[in-house]
Each structure stands twice: as structure tokens, then as C-alpha cells.
Amino acid sequence: MRMKVAFINGSPRKSNGITAELLAHLETKLPGCEITHGWEGLSEAPFACEGGARRAGGAIVIAFPLYVDAIPSNLLRELAAHETGLPPGTPVYALVNNGFYEGEQNANAVAMLRHWSKRAGLAWGQGIGVGAGGILNSQQPGRGPLKSLGKALDVLARNILAGESGSDIYTRPDFPRALYKLGAEISFRAAIRKNGLSRRDVERKLS
């Protein structure tokens, strides 16, 4: 029986955002696993053993974008609804992304999910905090500016396959912060022009 890994996409955008991209990359590193999407798969084998007794026989990966240094409200509702009834001891792994340069900005959100896992009677596996998630729109993890992210996903995949825990990892782009800031400013200015505004419009303050 193949190991089952439940992917929980906690992004409000679901299928077309950075969170979905990260889960897709992680899936390529879990060959031979049965990947389910959503909470419903947690009630099926191998999360349930003979005689109906439930046990941990797989893993849960909860991925989401950072919202105000925390967990998005839609995912908070889902977590509250599933705080009981999950197979005890199932390892939980977190994959959190943000638009800041530093992946460490995700630390509070990872800690929140770790506390939820404890309350739900689950085992904490590992948290991966991804900085500069927007780069995934044009780059592949493991290459160039996302080389460190690729390595972190490799570690995460190994721990999932082994059912083991590991230290939380926080990644940032493999180039200087100043270059990331410059690129963000160029993109922001382009968005201003696209919407028919000027820099003065953006900087105007209400009296």
C-alpha cells in the first residue's frame, strides 16, 4: 500500500497561486506516494487500519501564504473545524511563503501551526518558511536564485517519506537583498503606470 500524503492548500487563491506552485514542486519529490488534496482524504486508508481503529499511516502537508504575519482566516476556520477527529500522531509539515525577502518572517505562522498540531493530537514534523515567494512565477526551485529553496524542499521530502521530524528551515533568495528590493520597486512602478496613476498619486496623503 502506497504512503498517503494529504496536501492542504490554505491559500484563498487555491489553484493559481504561489502556494499551489510550491505544492506542485514538492509533489515531484514524493515519488510513489498517493497525494490527496483536502481534508477528506484523511479518513481513508492508510490513515485507518483494520477494524476501524484510526492511526497515523501517512502525513499532512499544510501550505499557505503569510497574512499579516499569521495564518489566513479561511485556513484558520478549516483548522478549527478539524481540531478533533484526525488520526492521532499523524505528522504535520508546514510550507509557508511570503513576499518579504527573509523567510524568517514566517516564523510566527509556523509556530501557530505547531501549536495547533499539538492541540489536535498530531505530531509536528517540520516547517519550511519561504521568503520572496513571488520569484516562483519566473524561477524553478533548486536553480539560480532559488537554489536554497530547492535544497529545503529536498529535506522536507526526505522527512515526509521517512515519517521523521526536522528543524524548521527558513529560506531567502540566493542574491543580495538590495537587488530584491530594486526588482520589487521596478515591478511596483510598472503596476502604477498600468493603472493610469503617477508616483504623486500613490504618495498623496489624505488631509
What is the pTM for the complete model shown?
Answer: 0.87
Query: In the chain, helix, strand, coil percent, each to 5?
Result: 45, 20, 35
pLDDT tens digit sequence for 69-115: 999 999 999 999 999 888 889 999 999 999 999 999 999 999 999 99
Largest interatomic CA distance in the chain: 69
pLDDT tens digit sequence for 172-198: 988 887 777 766 666 667 777 788 887
